[in-house]
Amino acid sequence: MCGIAGYIDFKKQLRDRDLRTMTDRLEHRGPDGSGYWWHEFNNAAVGLGHRRLSIIDLSEGGAQPKTEGKLHITFNGEIYNYTEIRDKLKAAGHSFHSNSDTEVILKAFDQWGINCVKEFIGMFAFVLVNENTQKAYLVRDRAGVKPLYIYQKNGLLLFASELKAFHTQRQFEKELNPDALGYYLQYGYIPTPYTIFKNCQKLEPGSYLEIDLNNQTTRKEKYWNVYEVYQQPMLQMDEQELLNETEKLLISAFQYRMVADVPVGVFLSGGYDSSLVTAILQANSTQKIKTFTIGFDNPKYNEATHAKAVAAHLETEHTEYICTEQEAKDIIPTLPQIFDEPFGDSSAIPTTLVSQIARKNVTVALSADGGDELFAGYRRYHAVANLYQKLNGKPQTLLNLAGKGIKTARRVGWTGYNHTFGHKLTKGANILTDNSPVSIIQNQVQRLTSHDLKKLLYGKGKAINQNGYLAATDPMNTLLAWEYRNYMMDDILVKVDRATMSVALEGREPFLDQRIAEWVARIPFNQKYQAGNLKYILKEITHRYIPREIMERPKMGFGVPVVQWLKTDLRDILETYLNDDRIRQAGIFNPKIVARQKALFLETDNTASFEWLWFLLMFEMWREQWM
Torsion from C-alpha of 543, 547, 549, 554, nearest 10 degrees? -40
Phi first, then psi, for residue 478 (nearest 5°) are: -60, -40
| Long-range interactions of 18-23: CB distance < 8 A, separation 24+ | 18/47, 18/168, 18/169, 19/47, 19/48, 19/49, 20/49, 21/168, 21/169, 22/47, 22/49, 22/158, 22/160, 22/165, 22/166, 22/168, 22/169, 23/49, 23/50, 23/51, 23/165
* Residue 425 · residue 415 · CB < 8 Å: yes
> Is the bond into 336 cis (omega within 30 degrees of 0)?
no
User: What SS3 state is found at 39?
Assistant: strand
Distance CA 189, CA 308 (A): 32
Q: Which of left, alpha, beta for 134 (phi over 0: left; psi -120 to 50: alpha)?
A: left
Residue 284 is which amino acid? Answer: N
Select from 62, 57, 55 the least CA-distant residue to 1.
55
The enclosing H or E element of 388 equals helix 380-391
Task: Give the containing element (helix H, strand E) for 24.
Answer: helix 16-24
Bridge partners for 371 per DSSP: none
Q: Is the peptide bond before 193 cis (omega within 30 degrees of 0)?
A: yes
Amino acid at 93: G
574 by Cβ neighbours in 10 Å (0-12 / 13-18 / 19+) ranks as buried
Distance, CA of 360 to CA of 67 (rounded, Å): 33
> Around Cβ 249, how many Cβ atoms within 10 Å?
16
Distance (Å, whole) CA 172 – CA 175? 9
171-176 CB contacts, 8 Å cutoff, 24+ apart:
171/13, 171/14, 173/197, 173/198, 173/199, 174/626, 174/627, 175/199, 176/588, 176/627
Counts for the chain of helices (H) and strands (E), in that order:
28, 17
Is the CB of residue 618 less than 8 Å from the CB of residue 344? yes
Q: Which of 285, 292, 288 minimizes the C-alpha distance to 267? A: 292
Query: Which residue type occupies 9?
Result: D
Write the burial class of residue 503 (CB in 10 Å: 0-12 exposed, 13-18 middle, 19+ buried): middle
Q: Of the listed 2, 116, 200, 323, which one is catalytic?
A: 2
Does residue 2 have an active-site annotation? yes
What is the sign, positive or negative, of the torsion defined by CA atoms of 472, 476, 481, 485? positive
Q: State the DSSP code for 626.
A: H
- What 8-state DSSP symbol labels residue 93? T
Question: Is the C-alpha dihedral spanning 230, 232, 238, 240 positive or negative?
Answer: negative
How many whole angstroms separate alpha carbon 406 and alpha carbon 38?
60
Active site residues: 2
